[in-house]
């Protein structure tokens, strides 16, 4: 990959950057003024998808067949009516509305030509068979007895934010929920099992700390070339699984294990990147220094990467979808809630500023 294309989703529009390392430039935009939650670039047919949150006018999905030059509105996932008498209240005792509040995950479903998976707030997973022309709720997960205990982590509503489709079997899919744990189906969504053994929550009474539905994974990724290996940036720190989710092991990292993002190298399950923040109480870089942490040995050791990143008076937060690693394993990009965007073409050894004045960045993704 010599000329990667980066899709940048922000509070005030979608921006498209092209080029590598210090030569990367923002060249185009779309949806200026609109809140863009995230994007998907479908390598099968070249289509791009953008999830928009219009606030007043609701959540919308758009599709582009010409790499962002023109967009067409497509269907948005819609929840079925709540059954009469069904009790479904959130942690504040408010009746949970069965209505799409936002989109926090969008991935391809390789077992069908137009197959897509979509993770939403307040916690529903949806499936499309027709490139997003229609969607259906994955009822087995939504109707799981623990689902009513899922709650807001990064937002007021529970959110499916990570969808990992197993490269060995497209019917095998892992989803992660803030806050609602890690779930896997092996039959395309018909049944689901929990996979949080080893994780611990510090925001519930101790006897409930290991309950699957109270785990708050901020982001989960699976290594494409070693799919039995998963990395998780959890609310309580960093965890890794090397036994295909039978268990998770916690890993301590300096200067902090708190954060929202994680990326794993596509061909090396021991190489992963994180962006640390100062504890869940503050959620800022440590002492005003923006750094990236990288391990090359499965978490035994971490390097702190800072070349080209602000090292004083920086208070950027990198949200969970705002770090992307290109398929070549060398290009990374991350954007912050204060509109700064950095890229590297050498796995993070040197970072280059792509912009200091974008709107708040929600997501970045290499097309």
Partner 1 sequence: MADVVFTPNLQRHVECPRREAAGATVREVLDAVFADNPRLRGYVVDERGALRKHMSVFIDGRQISDRERLSDPVESRSEIYVMQALSGG
Please report how close the Cβ of residue 75 comes to partner 1 at its closest, in angstroms: 9
Residue with tokens 């920086």: 314
- Which listed range, 56-64, 102-110, 200-208, 332-340, lies at the site for partner 1 (CB under 8 A)? 56-64
Closer by beta carbon to partner 1, 57 or else 297: 57
Cα-based distances in Å from 231 to 124, 176, 265, 365: 23, 11, 11, 18
Q: Report if residue 234 touches partner 1, rule: CB under 8 A.
A: no
Q: Report if residue 64 touches partner 1, rule: CB under 8 A.
A: no
Taking CB under 8 A as the criterion, the residue among 81, 145, 205, 206 binding partner 1 is: 81
Closer by beta carbon to partner 1, 102 or else 256: 102
- Which listed range, 19-27, 70-78, 87-95, 208-216, lies at the site for partner 1 (CB under 8 A)? 70-78
- The span from the CA of 129 to the CA of 117, in Å, is 9
Closer by beta carbon to partner 1, 46 or else 80: 80
Query: Strands 125-128, 116-121: parallel, antiparallel or unpaired by DSSP?
Result: antiparallel
User: Residue 180 contacts by C-beta under 8 Å, 6 or more apart in sequence?
Assistant: 123, 146, 147, 149, 150, 151, 158, 213, 215
Closer by beta carbon to partner 1, 46 or else 58: 58
Q: Report if residue 78 touches partner 1, rule: CB under 8 A.
A: yes
Site for partner 1 in 193-212 (CB under 8 A): none
- Which listed range, 15-23, 53-61, 233-241, 293-301, lies at the site for partner 1 (CB under 8 A)? 53-61
Q: Report if residue 76 touches partner 1, rule: CB under 8 A.
A: yes
- The span from the CA of 360 to the CA of 78, in Å, is 27
Question: What mask of x and - would describe binding to partner 1 in positions 250 to 289, judged by CB under 8 A?
Answer: ----------------------------------------
Overall size of the chain counted in residues = 367
Query: Strands 303-305, 36-41: parallel, antiparallel or unpaired by DSSP?
Result: unpaired
- The span from the CA of 162 to the CA of 221, in Å, is 7
Q: Report if residue 337 touches partner 1, rule: CB under 8 A.
A: no
Closer by beta carbon to partner 1, 80 or else 202: 80
Taking CB under 8 A as the criterion, the residue among 28, 44, 54, 168 binding partner 1 is: 54
Q: Could you tell me which residues are beta bridge partners of residue 111?
A: none
Q: Report if residue 155 touches partner 1, rule: CB under 8 A.
A: no
Of the candidates 325, 230, 326, 300, the one whose C-alpha atom is nearest the C-alpha of residue 269 is 230
Give the count of alpha carbons within 13 A of 159, CB side only: 22
Residue with tokens 């087995």: 140
Which tokens sit at 62?
């758009």
- The span from the CA of 184 to the CA of 176, in Å, is 9
Grouping H, G, I as helix, E, B as strand and the rest as coil, residue 251 is strand
Q: Report if residue 56 touches partner 1, rule: CB under 8 A.
A: yes
Please report how close the Cβ of residue 124 comes to partner 1 at its closest, in angstroms: 11
Site for partner 1 in 82-101 (CB under 8 A): 97-100
Phi and psi angles of residue 178, each rounded to the nearest 5 degrees, phi first:
-105, 110
Please report how close the Cβ of residue 336 comes to partner 1 at its closest, in angstroms: 18
| C-alpha gyration radius of the chain | 19
User: Residue 178 contacts by C-beta under 8 Å, 6 or more apart in sequence?
Assistant: 152, 153, 154, 155, 158, 159, 161, 216, 217, 218, 235, 320
Closer by beta carbon to partner 1, 98 or else 315: 98
For binding to partner 1 (CB under 8 A), which residues are involved? 54-58, 60, 73, 76, 78-79, 81, 97-100
């Amino acid at each position: 990959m010599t000329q990667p294309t980066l899709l940048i989703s922000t509070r005030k529009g979608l921006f498209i950057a092209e080029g590598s390392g210090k030569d990367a430039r923002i060249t185009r935009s779309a949806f200026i003024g609109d809140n863009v939650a995230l994007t998907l670039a479908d390598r099968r047919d070249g289509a791009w998808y953008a999830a928009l949150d219009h606030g007043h006018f609701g959540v919308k999905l758009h599709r582009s067949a010409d790499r962002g030059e023109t967009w067409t509105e497509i269907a948005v996932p819609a929840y079925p009516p709540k059954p009469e008498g069904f009790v479904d209240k959130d942690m504040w005792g408010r009746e949970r509305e069965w209505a799409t509040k936002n989109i926090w995950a969008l991935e391809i479903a390789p077992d069908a030509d137009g197959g897509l998976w979509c993770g939403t707030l307040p916690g529903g997973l949806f499936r499309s068979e027709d490139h997003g022309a229609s969607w259906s709720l994955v009822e087995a997960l939504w109707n799981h007895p623990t689902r009513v205990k899922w709650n807001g982590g990064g937002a007021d509503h529970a959110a499916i934010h990570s969808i990992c489709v197993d490269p060995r079997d497209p019917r095998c899919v892992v989803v992660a929920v803030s806050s609602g744990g890690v779930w896997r189906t092996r039959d395309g969504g018909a049944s689901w099992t929990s996979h949080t053994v080893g994780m611990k929550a510090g925001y519930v009474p101790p006897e409930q700390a290991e309950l699957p539905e109270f785990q708050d994974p901020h982001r989960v990724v699976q290594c494409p070339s070693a799919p039995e290996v998963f990395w998780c940036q959890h609310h309580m720190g960093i965890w890794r699984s090397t036994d295909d989710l039978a268990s998770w092991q916690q890993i301590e990292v300096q200067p902090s294990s708190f954060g929202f993002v994680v990326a794993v190298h596509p061909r090396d399950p021991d190489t992963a990147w994180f962006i640390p923040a100062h504890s869940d109480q503050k959620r800022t870089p440590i002492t005003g220094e923006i750094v990236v942490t990288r391990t090359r040995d499965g978490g035994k050791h971490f390097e702190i990467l800072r070349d080209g990143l602000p090292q004083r008076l920086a208070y950027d937060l990198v949200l969970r979808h705002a770090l992307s690693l290109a398929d070549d394993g060398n290009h990374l990009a991350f954007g912050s809630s204060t509109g700064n965007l950095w890229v590297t073409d050498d796995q993070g050894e040197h970072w280059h500023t792509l912009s200091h004045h974008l709107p708040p960045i929600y997501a970045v993704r290499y097309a």
